[in-house]
Amino acid sequence: MSKIKVAVIGCGTIANSAHIPAYIKNDDVEIKYFCDIIPERAEACVEKYGCGTAVADYHDFLNDPEIEAVSVCTHNDFHSIISIDFLRAGKNVLCEKPAARILSEALEMQKVAHETGKVLNIGVCNRFNTYVHKIRELIDAGELGEVYHVYASFRAHRSIPGIGGDFTTKAKSGGGALIDWGVHYLDLIMYCCGDPKPVTASGEAFCKLGKDIKNYVYKSMWAEGTAEMDGTYDVDDSVVGVVRTSGPVISFNGAWAQNIGVSETFIDFMGDKGGIRLKYCGDFTLYSTKNGMLTETKVECKTTDMYQNEINDFICCVKTGDKNRQNIDYAVETSKILQAIYDSSASHREIIID
Ligand SMILES: NC(=O)c1ccc[n+]([C@@H]2O[C@H](COP(=O)([O-])OP(=O)(O)OC[C@H]3O[C@@H](n4cnc5c(N)ncnc54)[C@H](O)[C@@H]3O)[C@@H](O)[C@H]2O)c1
């Protein structure tokens, strides 16, 4: 059987650390194009991985009949434009998280996916994390009883990425800590709780520690190569919120930067029979009772690579046309929450989510 030919658009960090290596390890796939508006990045991929052709403009292969699927690994400002172009060209798309900068863009992506009948997955990779999936199974099996509240802490001491650059420029990113990190936590919670419908949201997003770019004090910076000390900083570096859903209430405190001692990155699932604390990107502990005793179970198991799982499952979807757990229909619900929190912060009011 001939291999499924794919293209990777945006040859930066996530493409090189996750998408490309996972495609290469999948025997059913051949990467035909590496595309980046910075041509040297695409050329470096051709050289490094020993396959494909380097292209600077994705329109050059948009209508290549051999291409069945693409990964969109650009910054958030191009997610909806490129995904929609490829869906309309009859291709299947795996687009990085967040789905888009604002809800209306995500809804348009969903609409076009439905119209074309093509697969549109969003790279909310935690849905393929082994421990996260185990938590979903435990909740489904009733081990926690009724899960009534989930609390997420995604707080760092100093972790603003590429200050002044794309991450901190709202026109490009759509927002800061909430849309960049919060999307992972909120989506993970939605997945574990069986994708409940969001009902209302209230929150405040703060732009405090990074806005004076030149005087921002830090030890190291993720994406430092993209920092611009004369650039723009108009996004949230810290956010707090409460979301009512058809399932549990979700509350959170998140920050790229906060004046706290150490980073606090965990999620507490609170049920009336048991509770779970998940270390983000780590294992978890189950708290419960048995025969009149309090129990604490540290759960460990063999894990698999979530990015490899994500790509393998995407390729299965390409073959079958099936909707999987990363389908845009789920990501749109998380986009509604993100939008509602930003709208709530702007208006200082609770927002009702349709
Ligand atoms: N799933 C995860 O865990 C995870 C982790 C990191 C980043 N991300 C997401 O991945 C996306 C990219 O982040 P990154 O850190 O890799 O950024 P990056 O800057 O390292 O890479 C983005 C690349 O896209 C290229 N690009 C921009 N516009 C383009 C266009 N129109 N056509 C072709 N190429 C274009 C840029 O030149 C750059 O090389 C973001 O949306 C981010 O939120 C996801």
- In order of start, what are the domains of the chain with their CATH numbers? 4-125+307-324 (3.40.50.720), 127-305+336-352 (3.30.360.10)
What pLDDT digit, counting tens, does each position of 282-320 carry? Answer: 999 999 999 999 999 999 999 999 999 999 999 999 999
Pocket test for ligand 1, best of 96, 226, 265 (most atoms within 8 A of CB): 96
Euclidean distance between CA atoms 173 and 102, whole angstroms: 9
Contact at 8 Å (CB) between 119 and 318? yes
Residues 6+ apart with CB under 8 A from 117: 321
Q: Compute CA distances 75 → 47, 267, 335, whole Å.
A: 23, 27, 16
Q: Is the CB of 44 under 6 A from ligand 1?
A: no
Q: Is the CB of 35 under 6 A from ligand 1?
A: yes
Helix (H) or strand (E) holding 159: none
Residue 265's nearest CA partner among 126, 166, 134 is 126
Euclidean distance between CA atoms 261 and 146, whole angstroms: 34
Cα(295) to centroid of ligand 1, in Å? 44
Average pLDDT over residues 210-228: 94
Q: Compute CA distances 128 → 18, 44, 110, 236, 265, whole Å.
A: 13, 29, 21, 28, 19
Q: Compute CA distances 340 → 177, 267, 270, 289, 345, whole Å.
A: 15, 21, 24, 37, 8
Closest residue CA from atom 19 of ligand 1: 12
- Does residue 1 register a pLDDT over 90? no
Cα(79) to centroid of ligand 1, in Å? 9
What pLDDT digit, counting tens, does each position of 97-112 carry? Answer: 999 999 999 999 999 9
Whether pTM > 0.95 for this model: the answer is: yes
Pocket test for ligand 1, best of 35, 36, 187 (most atoms within 8 A of CB): 36
Beta-bridge partner residues of 198: 245
Q: Is the CB of 75 under 6 A from ligand 1?
A: yes
Burial class of residue 295, CB neighbours in 10 A (0-12, 13-18, 19+):
exposed
Cα(69) to centroid of ligand 1, in Å? 18
- Index of the ligand 1 atom closest to the CA of residue 16: 16
Average pLDDT over residues 272-277: 98
Cα(293) to centroid of ligand 1, in Å? 49
Cα(80) to centroid of ligand 1, in Å? 13
- Index of the ligand 1 atom closest to the CA of residue 307: 1
How many CA atoms, within 13 angstroms, populate the side-chain half-sphere of residue 134? 18
* Region for 46 from its dihedrals, namely left if φ exceeds 0, alpha if ψ lies in -120 to 50, beta otherwise: alpha
Euclidean distance between CA atoms 154 and 76, whole angstroms: 20
What pLDDT digit, counting tens, does each position of 139-197 carry? Answer: 999 999 999 999 999 999 999 999 999 999 999 999 999 999 999 999 999 999 999 99
Cα(123) to centroid of ligand 1, in Å? 12
Q: Is the CB of 22 under 6 A from ligand 1?
A: no
